[in-house]
Structure 1
Amino acid sequence: MASGNVLSSRLRERVDAVLLLAGWRRLALAVLAGALAAAALPPVDAFPVYALSFPVLVLLLDSVYGEGRRLLLSLRDAALVGWGFGFGYFVAGLWWLGAAFIAGGDQFLWLMPLGVLGLPAVLALFPAAGLALARLGWHAGPTRILLLAAGLGAAEWLRGTLFTGFPWNGFGQAFANHLLLAQIVSVIGTEALGPVLVAIFAAPVLLVSGGGLAARFLLSGLAAVALVGIALFGAVRLDPVGGTRVDFERLPLVSGVKIRIMQPNIPQDARLALPDGDALLARFFTLSDRAKGAHAAGIADVTHLIWPESPFPFVLERNPRAIEAIRRFLSAGTVLVTGAVRAEATGDDSRPIRFFNALQVLDRTGIVAGYDKVHLVPFGEFLPAEGLLRRLGLREFVREIGGFTPGAGRRALAVPGLPGVTPLICYEVIFPAEIAGDTGDGPFINVTNDAWFGYTFGPFQHVAQARLRAIEFGRPLIRAANSGISAVFDPYGRTIAQLPLGIADVLDAPLPASLSGTVQRRLSGFGFATVMILLAVLGLSGRKWR
């Protein structure tokens, strides 16, 4: 008993120390808490660190609230805490973006600090706004943790929406590689999971701070029950199909479909050097025809061959020799789905041709279908405020063709032999709200080139977000990545087959059938709205309940 009292006393001392922080010390602790929270994300996947980071954030808001300053000054201090947390979180979670400035060539090296530190500083404005919003309704009762969750949830929604959106590394993505826990996104979606996790993992702070004893233990207990409930839901959902490991005897497959993904692993500096197109195409053919087993016949065994994003140093549809070579290479029953650059005349002398980042389908008759990427990467594929930024000397990374033009609109891709395909080029896969209206009943096909980021956290985070889309919408996902990680996921997010990062190889897999639908697919957006309303109402009602 004495040792328990000593432990409790020491813990109370540390809580009081946080509550007494001010100025740069409070900001420094917020930055450290944010950096620690980033360890919850792939590939570290240590989501229990949230149980340290979010309680610290609650205590830092308590310290702002407890100072009794005028509201505007208190809001400023709360925003500063939120900014510090966000800055630490995004620097620790997005440091790998610096690799793109190296791969992009010497002319981009001077911009590396803007990518590694400048972008996190800007993104941190969103959690700054979220904590200021939470401070508006803050109180000393236990339900204040729900206000933190609501504030950060609103901030994350804005981050994924404003200025074309960048929802990378949302808090809910911490469960991406924990399949039992990730199944809940089939009901509420990844956007709603984020604020739910904030509330759950902020709850331990109630054991040492704020409100009456009964209420504190009640809410802490409810948070623990919610986490256990999420795990139980996942277990119940996965048990009939074999659990977290794929059981092919119980997994429905699309009959007659044999997928092959070609992962060429071409370094980005080699791609930018524009290698000889004929030699590159020959290399793709050799790799794509590789026999994977003693009785395999290479491309003759394949119904659908998938190549990654923009693999050619030429415009495919304007290169008859390349199209003819592909036609001769494909067997009678094989269809190729490949990334490509598409060109279109504009009739404008100032810019006679515009280019599209495209996905094109070919068989032995030539190009039979295509899709142009709609959601382009700012600064990577197009330059926002182009006139102004070009005068300042800035260029997009895809500088050889002067950037891309967005496609006219999202639409299905007609691939012979496959049920309705939803095409997703590169980071289009991280925007669930944009996919929600899609009516396809077949697989997602996601082609990408993550060679920009080398062997860093970036490719692991990207593929984890792709996995979440499969779970949310109950549809298999086929992912072809130039340097990896290429994979096929079933509608539960389980890995059917996968190639590691940084190798050249092919991956063969069957195609799992889609589910009839998920709650998230049918009611997209309602899960997030419901969670946010509940958090805000219950959080504010705690002022009177206290």
Structure 2
Amino acid sequence: MPVQAMGDDRRLVGVTALAGALAGLSLAPLGLAPLLWLALVPLWSCGPAAAGLWGAAAVLVSHRWLLWLHPLDWIGVPGPLSLPICLLLWLGCGLAGGLLVATWSALVRRLGPRHFATALVACGLWGLTEVLLATGPLFWIGLGTSSLPADRPLAGLAALGGAGLVAAVQLLISWFCWHSLLASGASRRGWGLGLVAVLLLSHGLGWSQLRADQAERGAPFRVLVLQPALPTREKFKPERQRGLLVQIAAARSQAAALGVPLLLPEGTLVLGQAMPEADAEVLSGGFRLEGEELRSSVLRFLPGQTQASGWVDKSRVVPLGEWVPLARLWRWSGLSAVGGVEPGPPSRLLMRSGADPAVAICYELADGVALRKASAAGAGWLMASANLDPYPALLRDQFTALAQMRAIETGRWLVSAANTGPSLVIDGQGLVRNALPPEQSELGVFELELLSRATSYQIWGEAPLILMILLGGAGCFWYRRPRSGRSH
């Protein structure tokens, strides 16, 4: 290979890796969709190896909050092993992301990236893959949420086809950007006009889903949210648990005095812990036994009751963090103070006497499919219960963006009760209506509306992505079919 060509290849690899890092930065808290569109452009030119570096860089930058797991001495990991374990987890996530993007790039190269049919297949597959990964245990955030908080009109497409459709459209925008940069003269003007048309159409469709005059008005509903702000590394100490019960008891009494029907504390009750008695219903995080299996749950305590009478178990548990394969055989509960948790049923619907919520516990908020199904089954609002300590503000901002996306997808108001924040309420159009200050022990009354309208995403799910793939696949087949009159 000529020396100049080798130098050009190295530069392309370097540019692609830098673009991946910019893609990771484009997610919340920035939420700068145009930065992502530019960062995606090199993926249409490079090979699988460079694309793998793009994916690894994007994940390592966007998931850098994983390094805040260190130190792990509070769960029994020796100090010298703590940082290497955290680094391996972080690097493992980057490697997985790189392999996925490299596989995607290999398919694009095979089909030919310059064809519009290829772009449809590639964009649809990327979006659908993000959706499918989010239903499993190893996914947190992807391109679909990068439009928040800065570009809500584009995020409005989630009401039509979910976060996967938002990711696919952003890839399609980058494809038009790529062609516009490659072309010259009249051809460049044509591709530029195509890019403008895609931008106007996507933002117009998204904005049509978020218009205030189109919003449904629902029955008002009030909740009292307790944000205890307990350090995770101390949360399960006996004195901290006693302090938490005092906070919950005071909050439950205040809810009854204010006439607020429901208290939402982010308080992880230990197994068998009784709830302080008061005349207010409580939905609290805690643990329970199902046979011999330990479950992490949101527990429902009726007014005046001290024992839970209903619950939703966490279904999407963290591998090695909560769920450890064959943990009873090799006597390790995992990288968590609550290790050894088993997954519960997939349904996120918590039945109450009216105003049933769809519940997301911790990183289950990344799974839009489960909350869509619960909303379609009758949930009138969404509840997120999370403990994001000891992670930095970066993770809280990503959590807020995911919460906004879930609200837009389902057309439901969402209330988050989080240990150190974000404790907030978001309306069905993805706007944050109220929030408690982070990192502080706070109590706040949030007002929301119970909604029943069905978004297109609730009805059709990922059908737009599947249609995009089918149309693109048909176009690829037509382009590759033998032409009549071809010379022999």
- When the two structures are superposed, what TM-score results if normalisation uses the length of structure 1? 0.78
More off after superposition, 498-507 vs 36-45 = 498-507
Amino acid at match of 2:426: F
Q: Which residue of 1 aligns with 2:385?
A: 447
2:241 equivalent to 1:277: yes
Matches of 1:167 and 1:51, distance apart in 2: 22
Q: CA deviation digits over 1:12-52, x for unaligned, max 9?
A: xxxxx999722x54333221110011222100112211232
Q: How far has the Cα of 1:429 moved from its partner?
A: 1.7
Task: Give the direction of change, closer, same or farther, for the CA distance of 1:387–1:218 in structure 2 (3 Å limit).
Answer: farther
1:86-485 superposed matches below 5 A = 86-102=55-71, 105=74, 106-107=77-78, 108-138=82-112, 140=114, 145-146=119-120, 148-150=122-124, 152-153=126-127, 155-157=129-131, 159-160=133-134, 164-177=136-149, 178-209=151-182, 217-241=189-213, 252-255=217-220, 257-286=221-250, 299-308=257-266, 311-312=268-269, 314-315=270-271, 318-319=272-273, 322-323=274-275, 326-327=276-277, 330-331=278-279, 334-346=280-292, 354-362=293-301, 363-366=303-306, 367-384=308-325, 386=327, 390=330, 395-399=333-337, 402-416=339-353, 418-438=354-374, 439-453=377-391, 455-485=392-422
Contact 1:149 1:535 survives alignment (8 Å):
no
The sequence identity of aligned pairs, in percent, is 21
Q: How far has the Cα of 1:462 moved from its partner?
A: 1.5
Amino acid at match of 2:66: L
Matches of 2:142 and 2:410, distance apart in 1: 18
Matches of 2:141 and 2:417, distance apart in 1: 21
Q: CA deviation digits over 1:335-385, x for unaligned, max 9?
A: 111111112443xxxxxxx21001111121332311111111112111246
Q: How far has the Cα of 1:91 moved from its partner?
A: 0.7
Matches of 2:24 and 2:5, distance apart in 1: 21
SS of equivalent to 1:374:
coil
Task: Give the direction of change, closer, same or farther, for the CA distance of 1:540–1:55 in structure 2 (3 Å limit).
Answer: farther
What RMSD in Å do the two structures reach over aligned CA positions? 3.0
| Equivalent residue in structure 2 for 1:85, among 30, 48, 54 | 54
Q: Which residue of 2 aligns with 1:41?
A: 27
Task: Give the direction of change, closer, same or farther, for the CA distance of 1:539–1:100 in structure 2 (3 Å limit).
Answer: farther
SS of equivalent to 1:533:
helix
Q: CA deviation digits over 1:424-456, x for unaligned, max 9?
A: 211112112233332023111111111131x23
Q: CA deviation digits over 1:68-127, x for unaligned, max 9?
A: xxxxxxxxxx22122101011001100001112336635333301112222211222111
Q: CA deviation digits over 1:493-522, x for unaligned, max 9?
A: 122211232121122122213141110000
SS of equivalent to 2:310:
strand
Matches of 1:384 and 1:345, distance apart in 2: 18
2:37 equivalent to 1:31: no
Task: Give the direction of change, closer, same or farther, for the CA distance of 1:408–1:237 in structure 2 (3 Å limit).
Answer: closer
2:5 equivalent to 1:21: no
Task: Give the direction of change, closer, same or farther, for the CA distance of 1:145–1:385 in structure 2 (3 Å limit).
Answer: farther
Matches of 1:86 and 1:54, distance apart in 2: 10
Task: Give the direction of change, closer, same or farther, for the CA distance of 1:186–1:493 in structure 2 (3 Å limit).
Answer: same
Task: Give the direction of change, closer, same or farther, for the CA distance of 1:434–1:136 in structure 2 (3 Å limit).
Answer: same
Matches of 2:367 and 2:233, distance apart in 1: 28
More off after superposition, 105-114 vs 171-180 = 105-114
Task: Give the direction of change, closer, same or farther, for the CA distance of 1:254–1:115 in structure 2 (3 Å limit).
Answer: same
Task: Give the direction of change, closer, same or farther, for the CA distance of 1:377–1:487 in structure 2 (3 Å limit).
Answer: same
Matches of 2:236 and 2:17, distance apart in 1: 37
Q: CA deviation digits over 1:515-540, x for unaligned, max 9?
A: 41110000112122123334444567
Alignment gaps of 5+ in structure 2: 482-488
Alignment gaps of 5+ in structure 1: 1-16, 61-77, 243-249, 291-296, 347-353
SS of equivalent to 1:436:
helix
SS of equivalent to 2:182:
coil
Bigger Rg over Cα: 1
- When the two structures are superposed, what TM-score results if normalisation uses the length of structure 2? 0.86
Amino acid at match of 1:335: E
Task: Give the direction of change, closer, same or farther, for the CA distance of 1:264–1:415 in structure 2 (3 Å limit).
Answer: same
